[in-house]
Amino acid sequence: MKVGVMQRVKEPNEQLLLILLNIIHNISRHDDGVDALNSFNAINVIKEYQSYNKDDFLCSMILALLSTPEEIKNDRKRMNNVLDQLLEIVYDASLSSDY
């Protein structure tokens, strides 16, 4: 019987979850890391977490890195949401005096 990540962590705090997501993101940026994460069914774990935090951009980026091009093409809604978020970040950065 599989136990979900959210059930294993008694009371996850946001800082701990953000640290874990950043580690997963860094691992998923490498081909061997993608293979390892996918062997542990990471896509479903990230989707489970994302169901609690619908607007989480980091989760969307992780899912994009772990997915095949065919999976990304077939999920138009998710692809459009990620592109919208990317454009919003670029636009906000262009308005900032630091950039």
pTM, rounded to two decimals? 0.73
Q: Which residues contact 45 (CB under 8 A, 6 or more apart)?
A: 4, 5
Report residue 55 CA to chain centroid gap: 10
Tokens found for residue 93 = 């950065």
Identity of the residue numbered 2: K
- Summarize pLDDT for 6-64 with one digit per residue, the tens: 555 556 678 888 888 999 999 999 999 999 999 999 999 898 888 877 667 889 889 98
Q: Which residue is listed with tokens 């980091």?
A: 58
Task: State residue 56's pLDDT score.
Answer: 78
Tokens found for residue 72 = 């990304």
Helix, strand or coil for residue 44?
Answer: helix
